[in-house]
Structure 1
Amino acid sequence: MSTFKQFFQGTTLMQKGRSYDLGKMNLSQLWAAYLTYPTILLYFALIIGTAVLSLYLHHSWWGVIIPIPVIIAVYPTAWYIIHRYILHGRWFYRNPITASMWKRIHFDHHQDPHLLEVLFGSPLNTVPTMMVITMPIGWLIGGWGGAFSALSTALVMTCIYEFFHCIQHLAYKPRWQWVVYIKQLHVLHHFHDEDGNYGITNYLPDRLMGTFYRSAKERPRSPYVFNLGYTVEEAERYPWVMRRTGAPPRDRPDPARAPKNEELSKSA
C-alpha cells in the first residue's frame, strides 16, 4: 500500500469508542491524524500569523532573529518547570476551580497515555502560557517584532514536541536510535515512575535537577504513576475530578495495552 493511500485511510481511523488510539496506530496513520488535528492546524495558523506580525513590526533583523535561539534554549527548562511543578502538582485537583483544568491538561493523559485527544493540551491553556513565557523575552530583545518572533518560535517547538510526544506513545519502533532513546525515557515516566524524566526531547533539565533515570532498575516503581497521586482516598476528599470523570481514578492502564508498555519500561 502506498504511503499516499495510507495517509488518507488514516484520516478516517476510528476504533471502538476511541477517535485516535496511538497504541493501535502506525506511523502513516499518525501523520494523517497529526496533520489534520484541529489543535495542530490552529498552531500552524498561529505560526504563520505571528511570523507575519514579527516581520511587520520589527525594527531590526537582529530583533527578530535573536529571540529564536533564545527561546530554543529556554523552552526545555520552561517545559520542565511546568510539567514537574504544575502538571504534576497536587494542589490543582484540591481546588474545585482548577480541578477540571488539571483533569484535562494532564490527569487524563496519565490515565490513558495512548489517547490522542488528551495528549495535546487545550489551546485555551497552552497558547496563553506560551505568550506569558516567551513574549516578554522577545519584547526585551526586539520590541513587538521580537515578541511575536519569540511566540512563533515557541509554537514551532510545541508542534515538534507534540509530534515526538505522539511517537513516544505510538505502536511503532523508531528507526533513529535517538528517537528510540527518548521514547524509552518517556515510557518510564508513564509506566514506572512519574517523578522523573519530565522532558520530551530534551532531558538536560532532568539531569541538572536530579530527576533523570535511564532504566526501571534505578528506582522503585511508583504507586502513583497512573493517577499522579489522585488516589481513591484523595478522590473521596477532593471529588471534583472524579465527578467530571464519572468513575474512580485508576491505578492501572488499559489491560489490553499494559503488558507491552510495562515490558518496555522494565527493559529500558
Structure 2
Amino acid sequence: MTLGELIVAYFQHYTIIAYLALTAVAVALYTQFPASPLGTAAAFAAGVIVYPLVWHLLHQYVLHGKWMWKSKWLSPTWKRIHYDHHQDPNDLSVLFGALHTTLPTIAVATVPIGWLIAGPGGALAALTAGLLTTCYYEFMHCIQHLSFKPKWKWVQHMKQRHNEHHYFHENGNYGITNYFWDRLLGTYYEKKDIPKRSPTVFNLGYDEEVAKTYPWVKDLSGGIASGHPRRRAMAEAKKAEAQG
C-alpha cells in the first residue's frame, strides 16, 4: 500500500468523516461563543496534551482490564472495542474506534478542562483539539496495522512498539503516537527486554476457563479462538478444504 492509497482509504472511513464534521460544528459554534486568543490557545493545547494520558489510562485499565467481560451488559462493548482487535489485529472492520465509545470519551476528557480555562469558547477549542488529535491517532494506527512501510524512523519505531503490543506482549506499550507515558509509568518495553511471548497476547486473558463463568463474549464470538491469527486462518482454510 502506498501513502496515497492509505490517505484515500483513511478519509473515506465514516468515523473520520464524523470527527471532521463535528470539528466543523465545534468551530462554527466557537464563532458564536469565542474566547480570548490566549484562552483559546491554552484550551486547545490542554486538549492536545491531556489526550495521550487519557488514552494510556483507558487503554491500560479499561481496555486491558479484566472486569468488562464480567458484565453481561458491558461485555459486547469490550468485545467490539478491544477483544476483537487483539484476536485479529489485521481485521480492518474493527481497526477504527467505535463512535459510541470514542465521542463521549473525547468530550469528557477535553470539554471540562477547556471550560475551566476559557469558558464555552475554551470548551469548544479543547473539544476541537480532542477530535483532531483522535484523527491523528487513527491515522497512525492505520499505519501500524495496514501493509504500509513507513520511511520515517520515528514512525517505524512507533509501529514496531505497537506490533509488539499486539503480537508479543499486551501488557505494555499502550501508546499509539508516542510512548512518553509508557516510559514514565513503567509500561514501555522492547521485545528484547521480555523473555518470552505472552500466552494471552491474542485473547487478553479471556479463555475457555474464564468463559465458563462469564460466557457472553464467547457466545457473541461463536467460540474462543487461540493462537496467532494467521495460523488460525491457515488451519481453518485447510479444514474447509478437507471438508470440501
The alignment's TM-score, normalised by the length of structure 1, stands at 0.83
Contact kept, 8 Å, 1:105 with 1:122, in 2: the verdict is yes
Deviation string for 1:102-145 (max 9, x for gaps)?
Answer: 00111110011112221111111100111111100000001111
> 2:224 matched to 1:248?
yes
Work out the percentage of aligned pairs sharing the same amino acid. 47
Query: Unaligned stretches of 5+ in structure 1?
Result: 1-24, 259-268
Query: Unaligned stretches of 5+ in structure 2?
Result: 235-244
Q: 2:99 aligns with which of 123, 127, 135?
A: 123
> 2:160 matched to 1:152?
no
Partner of 2:176: 200
Cα–Cα, structure 1 residues 150 and 257, in superposed 2: closer, same or farther, change >3 Å? farther
Contact kept, 8 Å, 1:58 with 1:142, in 2: the verdict is no
Comparing both structures, which one devotes a greater share of its residues to helix? 2
Contact kept, 8 Å, 1:232 with 1:249, in 2: the verdict is no
> 2:185 matched to 1:209?
yes
Residues 19-58 of structure 1 correspond to what in structure 2 (within 5 A)? 25-58=1-34
Contact kept, 8 Å, 1:195 with 1:211, in 2: the verdict is yes
Report which stretch shifted further, 133-142 or 232-241.
232-241
Contact kept, 8 Å, 1:26 with 1:170, in 2: the verdict is no
By how many angstroms is 1:26 displaced? 4.6
Looking at structure 2, the residues matched to 207 and 219 of structure 1 have their Cα atoms a distance apart, in angstroms, of: 19
Q: Structure 2: which amino acid aligns with 1:190?
A: H
Looking at structure 2, the residues matched to 117 and 60 of structure 1 have their Cα atoms a distance apart, in angstroms, of: 42
Report which stretch shifted further, 28-37 or 179-188.
28-37
The alignment's TM-score, normalised by the length of structure 2, stands at 0.91
Contact kept, 8 Å, 1:235 with 1:249, in 2: the verdict is no
By how many angstroms is 1:257 displaced? 8.5
By how many angstroms is 1:46 displaced? 0.7
Q: 2:88 aligns with which of 107, 112, 121?
A: 112
By how many angstroms is 1:60 displaced? 1.8
RMSD, aligned α-carbons:
1.7
Partner of 1:229: 205
Q: 1:87 aligns with which of 58, 63, 73?
A: 63
By how many angstroms is 1:69 displaced? 1.4
Partner of 1:71: 47
Report which stretch shifted further, 247-256 or 224-233.
247-256
> 2:114 matched to 1:170?
no
